[in-house]
Each structure stands twice: as C-alpha cells, then as structure tokens.
A and B are shown apart, each in its own frame.
Chain A
Amino acid sequence: MQSGLIFDVKRYAINDGPGIRVAIFLKGCPLHCRWCHNPESISAKVQKMFNKAKCIGCKSCIVACPEDACVLSVAEGIITDRSLCTGCGACADVCPTKATEMSGRLVTVEEIVAIVEKERIFFDQSGGGVTFSGGEPLLQHEFLLAALGALGRESIHRAVDTSGYAKQEIILEVAKQTDLFLYDLKMMDSSRHKKWTGVDNGRILNNLQLLAKTGACIEIRVPLVKGVNADLQNLEQTAAFVASLAGEKKTVSLLPYHYSMINKYQKLGEVFDGGDMSESTVDEQAEVVELFASFGIQATIGG
C-alpha cells in the first residue's frame, strides 16, 4: 500500500471547503513563501519541534538521544544540535509533556481512509468531506492519487488545496480524482512571486488556466499579506485573471495573513523574518472584497 508523509489531521475543519471537513496536511512543499503559516510543512522530512513552555526539565530526552544532540539550558529549555539530530524521534517518544514532538509521520492510504471514515456522519449532514492540504499535496502525487481514488470509491467529497506548482500531467491526473480545487493565487508578477515564494508563477498560472478549461470545480484562494501582495495593482491583476478563467465564475477566498505562526517557527528552532509584512485590518479586507466585486467576482474573507 502507498504511504505518504503527513504532519497534521484537523477534524471539524470549517475553513477548507464546503461543509464540515477533515483536513489532511501533507508534508513537503516546493515553495518557500515568506509568510508561510505552517513552516513545518515545507521540509519533506520528519522534523523535531520543541515547545519550551511545556518542558518540565526532566531530561528524559537527553538520556534517550542516541546522537547526544540534546542539551538542557536553563534559559532555552532543551537545545537540539540540528546538525547531529537525525530525526529518529527517540526524544519525542519519551517526552512526558509532549514538549518535544516530531512533525511528520508516514501513513498508508488505508489509514487515511480510516481517519476520514470517522467523520462520515458530519459529511453526510453538512455536505463536507476531505481536504488534502499541505505543504503542497501534489508533491506526493502518487500517494495523493491513491488516497483520492480510495476515498472516491467511498463516495467522499474530495478537495485538494494546492499552490498549483506541479507538472501539467500530474495536476490533470489529480483533477480526475478531485471534486474541488482550492487553488492559491499569490502574486501575478513573476519576479515578485519568485522573490517571495522562491519560484516563479508561470507554471501556476498555466496550470490554473488549463484546469479551468477541463471544467474542474475551482475556488481561488488569495493570501492577503500587506507589504507583499495586497497592493492595488496586484489585486486588480489577480481579479482580472480570475475573471478571465474558462468555465463557471470562480469564487475567491481571501486569507488574511496573521502573526500567530511565529510560535511555530520558534518550535522548529527557526527565525521568522517578517520583513515588511503586516496584517490587514477588517476595513482593508472589506475593501478588497469590493475590489473583486467590481470585477464581478464574489470574494469572502476566510476559507
């Protein structure tokens, strides 16, 4: 059976497509968006996360670590020498408080079906289903396809939340097993896109046009990050592009950037560089909704 690397399962997900859903987060992403809310989603490897607030200083992890990578510091809690850490998880296994946890676990398609199946009653009542998110789920496309196929046989509504950064043939293959795409459109200008996400957007825009032509059901998602993409020019270009897509009128969900993920960077032992990025106000978000409306596009705040 195919297996894939996931880092989270979120039940009662109400911001990731229609109805009450279960969201499955696949690990690994070809983009490195500077505002990423799930920094642990980027690496395709298992990673150690440490929450100092939960640490009681019992030193179990220090004893357990086969590489002697853990050291206790009064000020920082447990410090992990990431150059020695192999991600074996021995520390997390013995941690009594779950201050140390491993982000990333391998699951089989069968396990995915079993996880999703637990929520069936809520799908039935709400028109919900499963949403594969990430990371970039298309990065593990073989696993994703197998999971989508298996869930399709169980009559589960399937959504895929993607950056669109994948080979054409892969996204078209996935489209055959997907009931709804949540498709991210971050920036229209290719060089700016590359600057902020690490990749240019040619493939992303092409894939979206292609998908739209196949008649796939698509909801556009636009992260709203002040200082990055929330300028008038970019948003007008975005709206115009969405308006030009083939098939039924697409709706847009605006996902306001917020600082809450800084905590996650700390857990990974990474530094978050916010640069000029900032949160938008409710009034500003409402203005963006209006802007999209002037292009005949219905936009809402939140997923």
Chain B
Amino acid sequence: MFEKVEATSDSPERSASAEGNFYGPLNDQVGPGMNHRIQRLRKLSFDAKPSISIERALHETAFYKENYGHHSVPVLRALNFLDHCEKKTLYLGGDELIVGERGPRPKAVPTFPELTCHSVEDFRVLNTRDMQPYLTTQEDIDTYEREVIPYWHGKTQRERIFNHVPKEWKVAYEAALFTEFMEQRAPGHTALDGKIYQRGMLDFKREIEENIASLDYLHDPDATDRAEQLKAMAISCDAVILFAQRHVDLAEELAEKETDPQRIAELHAIADVCRRVPAHAPRTFWEAIQMYWFVHLGTITELNGWDAMNPGHFDQHLTPFYEEELAAGTLTRDEAKELICCFWIKVNNHTAPPKVGITARESGTYNDFTNINIGGIKRDGSDGSSEVSFIMLEVIEELHILQPGSSVHISSKTPDKFLHAATRVIRQGHGYPSVFNPDTYVMEMVRHGKTLEDAREGGCSGCIEVGAFGKEAYLLTGYLNVPKILEVTLNNGLDPISGKRVGLQTGDPEKFSNYDELYAAFIQQVRYVVDMKMRVSNYIDRMFAKYAPAPFLSVVIDDCISKGKDYYDGGPRYNSSYIQCCGLGTVTDSLSALKKHVFEEKTFSLKRMLGAISNNFEDEEFMRQTIMNRTPFFGNDDDAVDQIAVQIYDDLMSAIDNKPNIKKGGRYHLNMLSTTCHVYFGKMMGATPNGRLAGKSISDGTSPSHGADVHGPSAVIKSLSKIDHVKSGGTLLNLRFLPSLLSREQDIKKLGQLIRSYFTLGGHHIQFNIVDTATLYAAQQCPEDYKDLLVRMAGYSDYFNDMNGDLQQEVIERTENESF
C-alpha cells in the first residue's frame, strides 16, 4: 500500500519456532517429526497398509486342537498366550528404540477366531471395501479356510451369544434399537494405573504364588477355581517375560550384523532394556516406556478387548523417571521426547482388529482408541501436569498421526499455561486433544462408589467413558438408539421400517390427549428396551468369564490377584457396565416439536404429523420448515426445550443407573457416548418429528442436532450445562470451529476460557473440530491431496479420507460457528 514502509510484523498467530519447542524443517525432510529417526519411523508407520496376519489364528487353532480339554479354561487361555509369545514372528525395525509388534510387521493385525471367526466372504469384503480395507493374500485366505474356519465353527463367542439370545432381543437388535459391543470384540476400555512402574512381572508372579499358597480349601468353595485362575496368571507373566527375552536375543543378533556403530550401541541398549523389563520394575525413562509397551502388547495379543489398552495418566507415570534422570544427567529433554515419539508411532502401528459380518461392511475406522490422558490431577488431588505433559503436547502437534488419541484434563487446579498450550494444539485442527474435566468425573466415580483416591487416579479411556484406572472393569455394553425408541412409541410398538413388533403396545398415539401421556409412553418403552438389553448383556458377561478369561490383563488390574478372580469374572475392585445412550439432541428436538406444534399450539394434528413423518415429509415441506425454524431446539440456552433434555437424561438415568450387573457389587451406569453409531442408527430410522429426514444421522453424544444450535458455542455450553453430568459416566460435546474463529493468540486464549466456563458449570468433556467447509469439499473432490486431513468426530479422530460418505457429509454439515 505504501512504498516506503518495508518491515512487516510477525503474524499475530503463534510463531512456532519462537516457542523453542519446534524443530525446523530438515533438508531431506520426509514428513513431520523432531529428527530424522522420528521422521523415518513416522513415514513408515504412515505409509504401511493395514493387513491381516493369520499367524495368531494358526497358532491358536493348532494349540486348541491339541490342548482343548486338557486344562481348565483359564490355564488353557494362558498356555495359548504363552505358546503364541514363544512362536510369533518378531519385528524389530531399523531406527526403533521402543520395540515389539503384535503382528509380524507394522499394521499387520491378527484375528481372534475364538471370539469371532472371519469368513472367506469377510476377507473378501475387507480386501475390497473402499474405506479402511485390510489386505489379506489369497494364499492366507485359503489357509484360513482350510485350517482355521472349520475348527471354530460353532465354538466362537459370537455364536454362543447369537445362539442364545431371545427372539424379541434379536428383532429389536436388527431394528437398531441398540447394538451389542461384545459380539465382535472382548470387553475392554481398560486403562492402567502406576503399578507396573513399581513392580515387574516377577514381583507379580511372587504375589500370585503367595496367594496360591494361602488358598483355603477347607472353607472356600471357590478355592479350586481361584487356584486355576492364579496359575493362569503366573503362566501369563512368564509369557511376556519370554516375549521380551526373545527381543533381547533378536537385538543382539541384529547388533552382530549391524555395521553402523551408533545403531550397534542402540541395539545393545534395547537388549539391556528388554532384559530388565517387564521382568523387573523399570529404573529409567526408556525402561518405563518399554515396560508399558510390553504390557500393552500382552493385553492386545491375549484378547482383542475394545479400545486396545491405555496407559492412563502416562505423563504422571513417566514424570518421576524424567525428573530423576534429568537431574542425574542421564537423559536430556530431547532424548525423552524422542522416546515418547517412538512410543506414539508404536501405537499408530497397531490398527484396530477388523470386524466381521455386516459390521465389516459398514464400519469404519482404523483407530483402536488408545486415549492418552495428559494433565489432570494426581491421587492426592494436586495438579498432575508436568514438563512431560508439555512434551506430549509437542509430540501430538508434530507427529500428526491417527493414533494414539489424546486428551487433556483440565481441573480447577490446572495452570492456564498448560491449558493454553493445549488449546494451541487444538487450534492446529488435528482433531485432538479432546478436553476433560476431572473435577466432574471424579465426582462421577465417587458417586459410582469408588474411593476418592481411586477416582482421582482414574480418567477417560476409549472415547469419553470414565473408570478407575488399574482397578476397574468398566464395560461398554452397547449403544441405545433413543430417537428410535420414540419412533417405536409413535408406532405403538412397531418398527415402521421392518413392520415388526419391537416394543410394547403403549397405545395408539393419536389417542394421547396431551404431551405428558406421550412422554410417559416413551419412557415406558425406554425401560422395556433397557431391561431387554441388560438381560443379554449379563449373559454375555458370563460367557466371557467362562470361556474367554483374560489372565494376563488380570495380573495388572487390582484386585484380581488377591481375589483369585479373572478380570471378566468380578476380579477387579470395581465392576461397572455402561449403556451408551445416543441421540439426545434428536429426541429432545422431536419431543419439543410434538409438544409445541401438536399439543400446545395445535399447528398440525398428530395424525397429519405422523403421516408426514412416515412419508419422509414428502409434499409437507411447509410443515418441515415450520418445525425446523419455529421450534425451540436444544443447544440455544432456551429453558423451554433444555428442560425436555434434562428430563430425558434423568429418566434414562433412572432406567439404567445402579441396576446390578451380575458381578458382585457391580452396577450399570448411564453413558452418553455415540462414537459413530449415530450414523448407523440414523440410517435405520425413518424421518423424525424434528424435521430430520429418513436415513440421516441422529445427533451425536450430548451435542445438539446438526444445525439446531444457532447462537454460538456459549449458548450450546449453557444448554449442555443444564444436565447433571455427575450422574453419568460420560457426556460428549462436539463443537466445530472454523480456523478464522481462532486466528489470533487472544482467540485461542478465549477458547481456553470457554472451556473453563463449561467446566465450571460441570461439563464432562468437550472437543473441537477446527476445519473449514471449503477444505472439506476439496478433500472430497481430491482425496490424495488431503491424505493427512484429520478430523474430530464424536469421541475419536479419524482421517477424513478414511471416512465413508455419510460421515464426511456429517462433518461438513455440523454447525459452522463462524456464521452464528
């Protein structure tokens, strides 16, 4: 504009290099990462194509053929695990510092035929589906068909479940009133506390043996079962020690052949680390990370529990090692960061196990949901953030990979400095970290019966579910399609899609004389469906306890050893079951529309409205627009409708909360997670009274319906804060921000203040999707140019290009906060 003015100021956006935390681009840069090693490892992980390894299935099938019937089930499981640890192909890549893979190479995923046995057709679908394919060679498919499939026919957990369930359950399940988690994978969502940094497997084994020695066969009718379980746990300890020892041998062998002196030294160091852990407690930062990694690998090899495994408050666990070594001068900040990067990439190498059946066709993510908790509070209630927390934030920002997921935990004690560092990473738009409120979730857990200290040591795993880390089995049993229950209510118990009876006959809706009668019928249906789901979930729970115990996982979860009970059999100190209720926004808005337009203002008769809904609002656009534009919708800080949401939430809670599961002292609790299930649920539904068209997604988590919130993020937060988050085991709020809303440093600070506001009001979780629509459309047009476009969706992150069209569309449609 002027000729004479030359200097230009720095962009008001952060200058990364000015922070001193970031490495400039390298000459032969192959991608982001702090140095050449990390860049190469990242690229290898990034470029590896997910594939199926049938090795585990072959070992297991051969083992079962030979050994089934010779041992108790827990011992059989443990010996099977030991057998595989002894035989499995090892992988130790060049550049690696943290070692060990579940499969024979990065992103090679084993199958678990004892739970769900893939068919030849499944492999074909996985090989050829557009989204998230898993490659299997024809030779392997032929081998599988010959060796694996015939043996497991009729013996899998999935068959045990589906052969047993009542007819009415099956019909409701097929109508998508709910899903069942345990038909595809083992119960999981487990996270660890700090015990493995104090004690090695040999220490655990000693404790196990002491417990075996002190069994009371005179008075305890379960003593024999306990003995078998404890024996199995001890065998599992041997298995992971053996697995580590094989890495010692391999590292030494590679060192022999290696010519680069630096790599030779590294390989010797790897061997030393693997000699120490997991047999003994770690002494160094490196050993601590490798310790966790062996435990992680053990649990995800033994079974395929949901959400892989989770180190819990990893920064808190590593901090003592970091501080001690830094003070002693045996570790630098950069070395620590490099090791954390190596760990992060290891998790990224471990793609989720692929599903079977219809789910294989529909489902959609490589993410296995390990969710690293950063910051938060310690067991004594003090702030848990440390330098390691900041390093982890840097790693997230620099690596920009799908896994592990990460979350920052912001309590009232968390310093603003940490919050600000976290919001800057959020600003980058990688889709994480998500943000959690320990002040609320600790209360949730105390309400569920945990001690204050155990609750503080807990956090979130998977997506948003809370549990006492290292001491609890908290199982997600499946999603509940709450809007579908309203649909069934409006059809007097029939599913309008299939025409089948799936609910109670709560009366002809046209005969309801007021809103309260309609609502009462809806809640009656909710209770019926919840009870039906619980009966089957309880049955499945027992099936896992009886046929698929997890002796190795039991070693690292209190109090499985002292009780002599398996993780799946009530061994943990706490045993919770969650039912995840989906579509709060959709069902609230639908009831609000019926209340206002049918019962209060009588704009439309119920008959006309039901007719319009069953015709997908064809020729009723005037009605649909009236509903969508002239109904109080959830997410706008409007009490008239927010109170409907509160009532539904409270009634869902009273239908679920505190009902006993079948583990001693265990209870069901409410959870409000939807992950991507709201897309599937929406597909299985007709139009809804809020104007949503048939087949479109329902709302996710506790977020408002798409496009329903028109007063910006603060109004959404006010609406959300009217529900009592402490009564659940997790709520979920997605907010999408366009980058322009966060262009300046002060905007990023305000984002932090928005988070503080929500958490002061008692919110459980919030996450942000920072993208612009143009970018998303462009990504749809030209996927290969946007390979690393990572977006946040309903509790997890994925690559935009790895999502199916429906999910992509949903991301695009979410309220754009820029234009409120």
Residues of chain A whose beta carbon lies under 8 Å from any beta carbon of chain B? 10-12, 14, 19-20, 56, 58, 60, 96-98, 118-119, 121-122, 124-126, 226, 230, 232, 280, 283-284, 286-291, 293, 300-302
Indicate with 1 or 0, residue by residue over B749-765, a CB within 8 angstroms of chain A CB atoms: 01001101100110000
**How many angstroms between the C-alpha atoms of A19 and B2 in the bound complex?**
33
* Contacts across chains A and B counted by CB atoms under 8 Å: 91
Residues of chain A lying within 8 A (CB to CB) of residue B715? 11-12, 118
**How many angstroms between the C-alpha atoms of A301 and B13 in the bound complex?**
11
With A11-B715, A12-B714 in contact, is A290–B622 under 8 Å at CB? no
Residues of B in contact, count (CB < 8 Å): 35
With A12-B714, A287-B8 in contact, is A126–B625 under 8 Å at CB? no
With A12-B712, A119-B714 in contact, is A284–B753 under 8 Å at CB? no
Q: Check B1 against A287 for contact (C-beta < 8 Å).
A: yes
Residues of chain B lying within 8 A (CB to CB) of residue A98? 629
The A-contacting residues of B in range 765-820, CB under 8 angstroms, are 817, 820
Q: B331 to nearest A CB, angstroms?
A: 38
Residues of chain A lying within 8 A (CB to CB) of residue B761? 121
Chain B binding surface, main DSSP class: helix
Q: Check B757 against A287 for contact (C-beta < 8 Å).
A: no
Q: Check B714 against A11 for contact (C-beta < 8 Å).
A: yes
Q: A250 to nearest B CB, angstroms?
A: 18
17 A-B pairs in the complex with CB atoms less than 8 angstroms apart? A11-B820, A12-B714, A12-B715, A14-B741, A19-B750, A20-B714, A20-B753, A96-B622, A97-B629, A119-B714, A121-B718, A121-B760, A126-B753, A284-B1, A286-B8, A291-B2, A300-B744
Q: B104 to nearest A CB, angstroms?
A: 51
Residues of chain B lying within 8 A (CB to CB) of residue A58? 621-622, 625
Residues of chain A lying within 8 A (CB to CB) of residue B8? 283, 286-287, 290
Residues of chain A lying within 8 A (CB to CB) of residue B16? none
Residues of chain B whose beta carbon lies under 8 Å from any beta carbon of chain A? 1-2, 5, 7-9, 12, 621-623, 625-626, 629-630, 637, 711-715, 718, 741, 743-744, 746-747, 750, 753-754, 756-757, 760-761, 817, 820
Q: Check A14 against B714 for contact (C-beta < 8 Å).
A: no
Q: Check B753 against A19 for contact (C-beta < 8 Å).
A: yes
Chain A binding surface, main DSSP class: mixed
With A11-B714, A125-B760 in contact, is A290–B750 under 8 Å at CB? no
**How many angstroms between the C-alpha atoms of A232 and B1 in the bound complex?**
8
**How many angstroms between the C-alpha atoms of A118 and B714 in the bound complex?**
9
**How many angstroms between the C-alpha atoms of A207 and B712 in the bound complex?**
35
Q: Check B621 against A286 for contact (C-beta < 8 Å).
A: no
**How many angstroms between the C-alpha atoms of A122 and B713 in the bound complex?**
11
**How many angstroms between the C-alpha atoms of A126 and B718 in the bound complex?**
16
Residues of chain B lying within 8 A (CB to CB) of residue A230? 1
Q: Check A125 against B621 for contact (C-beta < 8 Å).
A: no
Q: B186 to nearest A CB, angstroms?
A: 42
Q: Check B750 against A96 for contact (C-beta < 8 Å).
A: no
Q: Check B718 against A56 for contact (C-beta < 8 Å).
A: no
Q: Check B625 against A96 for contact (C-beta < 8 Å).
A: yes
**How many angstroms between the C-alpha atoms of A58 and B623 in the bound complex?**
11
Q: Check A97 against B625 for contact (C-beta < 8 Å).
A: yes
**How many angstroms between the C-alpha atoms of A58 and B625 in the bound complex?**
11
Contact of B630 among A96, A122, A291 (CB under 8 A): A96
Q: Check A96 against B629 for contact (C-beta < 8 Å).
A: yes
**How many angstroms between the C-alpha atoms of A290 and B1 in the bound complex?**
12
**How many angstroms between the C-alpha atoms of A33 and B637 in the bound complex?**
35
With A14-B750, A20-B714, A290-B9 in contact, is A122–B757 under 8 Å at CB? yes
Residues of chain B lying within 8 A (CB to CB) of residue A96? 622-623, 625-626, 629-630
**How many angstroms between the C-alpha atoms of A97 and B628 in the bound complex?**
8
Residues of chain B lying within 8 A (CB to CB) of residue A280? 1
Q: A89 to nearest B CB, angstroms?
A: 14
Residues of chain A lying within 8 A (CB to CB) of residue B711? 11
Q: Check A287 against B2 for contact (C-beta < 8 Å).
A: yes
